[in-house]
Amino acid sequence: MFDTETEGARIELRALTKHYPGQPAPAVDNVDLDIPAGELVVFVGPSGCGKTTTMKMINRLVEPTSGEIRIGGKDVLSLQPDELRRHIGYAIQQVGLFPHLTIGQNIGLVPKLLGWPAARIAARVEELLSLVNLEPSLFHDRYPRQLSGGQQQRVGVARALAADPPVMLMDEPFGATDPITREHLQKEFVRLQKRLRKTIIFVTHDFEEAIKLGDRIVVLRERSHIAQYDTPAEILARPADDYVAGFVGQDATLKRLALLRVEDVAPAGPPQQAGLPQVAAGTSLREALDVMIAHGSDRCSSPSGVLTYTALCGAVGTGRPSSPGREPEAVPSLPAPEKVVAGGR
Amino acid sequence: MNFSEYVVSRWDTLSLAAAEHVLAVAIAIGVAALVGIGTGLLVHETPKARNASLALSATILTVPSLALLTLLIPLTGLGWGSTLIALTAYALLPIIRNTVTGLNGVDATTVEAGRGMGMSRARVLMKVQLPLAWPLILTGVRVSTQMIIGIAAIAAYVDGPGLGTQIFEGLSRLGSVNALNATLAGTLGIVVIAVLFDLFFYAVRQLTVPRGLRVRH
């Protein structure tokens, strides 16, 4: 259907508007947005800001009042809606598994709609169950009501991936789980996306989740106006205005530390110095700082070198530890984001 | 002659009447299920049509059965015709109501998930909503059946089939020979038929309700 069948496809929104009849103002007002192929872009904003409506216009569960949507260059509004939706993965917070079908049948549903032969569907279902860490022999013939909330969410993700769509829309897919399960699912999902490189629009009201998952974040205000569209590091370092800063919260610097890893900044030096607290190379700077504070030390040692408190502050551009505050320093270890169209109006 | 001797001596008459009773109820409930579920599928999403069909079938139910049967005589005459039409009409309300309630009661997010995956409106209705509403629809059919088994007895007044003849004949000559036996035989026969129909629907439920709806954690 789209030019690229499985790898991500670019999504372009142009002057996209949804005005419900009888409402004084549009729910989504004139949104312009480009989502690069293979990136995970998080829509974050308060409830009622129109983020879900914006997302649902992309698979036309909500028909736009005006504007354009293109996926991989194709005009979405000219396609047959049911056929279009079979080529866009869709996962929602309530999961919405069909309780009368087995897990296998639930996952195989879209491939069946697409007319895949039974053998190919069966193989794909096995593959997907393994992919989301559910043992196929155990789960294939179970029913949704026999699964825990976290397991259901995994099946929901597997079902959205079933026909290997280039584009996925996810509306708080981990929202209904407890914090521990959610964090686990998020970590798994990040690993999965690194491999699959789908174009994903991920809607959440949880800014922490947006930072963890997003290649880029779109911060939305009411009527889906775009307050800022940038990488998590940039939004944390340079919030566009007070509204975005409010979303970022008070601990922006700590959040930025969480995005960086020890191996990204640890200066040259003898690795693994004895007598210092030890951290792994893949540890985040936030966790490394925690270790330093816990040991009352201003440095810790990792396989890639010794990390000092000064280097840690330098990494987030705060210079000397005696002058805290948000300084507009580039984050050295993250590549600068390519320019993307970000607007709204 | 005591009751059991009466039953043995009139077995041919009684078994034929019972068989006719079952047949009349079975035909009526079959037609009512088809019409009622079909109506429910068509109207469940349109408030006006839904309310109209529910109001109409509820109105039918408020007409006393004897009056309805009498009113039907000029149109469909005595016997089977009027009996079947009346029974079918009475059976409709619980079936339509439960079908509409069942289909609309399916979780909106389940329906949305189906639409979001590219299932057409009709496919979601037939493959998702109908199976999920099925236990409730079946309950409606069961309630209707129990109701019209009783109403079918009254069909004897319009020369209809069934065990009603036994009851009314017996009652009309109460005090004379075998009058009480006839009434009892008719009444007990109807109780037995009601129990058998209920067992039948229990079996249908076990066989047709999707396993995924019956499993527990």
Residue B160: give its domain's CATH number.
1.10.3720.10
Whether B118 sits inside 8 A of A83 (CB atoms) is: yes
Kind of pairing between the strands at A66-71 and A40-44: unpaired
**What is the extent of the structural domain holding B143?**
3-210
CA–CA gap between residue A154 and residue A158 (Å, rounded): 6
Cα–Cα distance measured from residue B44 to residue B42, given in angstroms and rounded to the nearest whole number = 6
Is there a contact between A262 and A283 (Cβ–Cβ < 8 Å)? Answer: yes
Domain-embedded: residue B20:
yes
Is residue B180 situated within a structural domain? yes
Alpha carbon distance B92, B36 (integer Å): 6
| Chain A contact present for B124, CB below 8 A | no
Q: How many structural domains is chain B composed of?
A: 1
- Residue A279 within a domain: yes
Is B140 inside a domain boundary? yes
Indicate the SS3 state at residue A14: strand
* Residue B89 covered by a domain: yes
Say if B163 falls within a structural domain. Answer: yes
pLDDT over 70 (residue A3): no
Q: For residue B151, is it within any domain?
A: yes
Residues in A lying within 8 Å of B, measured between beta carbons: 59, 61, 82-87, 90, 92, 94-102, 109-110, 113, 143-146, 159, 169
Structural domain includes residue A311 = yes
**Domain annotation covers residue A271:** yes
The amino acid present at B209, given as its one-letter code, is V
Residue A334 pLDDT greater than 50, yes or no: no
* Residue A170 located in a structural domain: no
Domain membership of residue A284 as a residue range: 261-315
Residue A18's H or E segment, with its range, is: strand A11-18
B217 assigned to some structural domain: no
User: In a 10 Å sphere around its CB, with 0-12 CB exposed, 13-18 middle and 19+ buried, how is residue A260 labelled?
Assistant: buried
- B122 touching A, CB under 8 A? no
Give me the mean pLDDT over the A207-235 stretch. 90
Q: Is it the case that residue A241 has pLDDT exceeding 60?
A: yes
The verdict on residue A200 lying in a domain is: no
Contacts of A63 in chain B (CB under 8 A): none
Q: Does B117 contact A144 at a Cβ distance shorter than 8 Å?
A: no
CB contact under 8 A, B117 and A85: yes
Whether B75 is covered by a domain: the verdict is yes
Per the structure, how many domains does chain A have?
A: 1
Whether A57 is in a domain gets the answer no
Kindly determine whether residue B217 and residue A145, on different chains, have CB atoms separated by under 8 Å. yes
DSSP code per residue over B181-196:
HHHHHHHHHHHHHHHH
Instruction: Give the closest residue to A176 by CA, choosing from A54, A73, A263, A91.
Output: A91
Of residues A184 and B128, more confidently modeled: B128
**Does the residue A3 lie in any domain?**
no
For residue A103, tell me if it sits in a domain: no
pLDDT at A99 over 80: yes
* Residues B46-77 pLDDT 10s: 889 999 999 988 888 888 888 888 888 888 88
Cα Rg of chain A, angstroms: 22
- Band of residue A1 on the pLDDT scale cut at 50, 70, 90: low
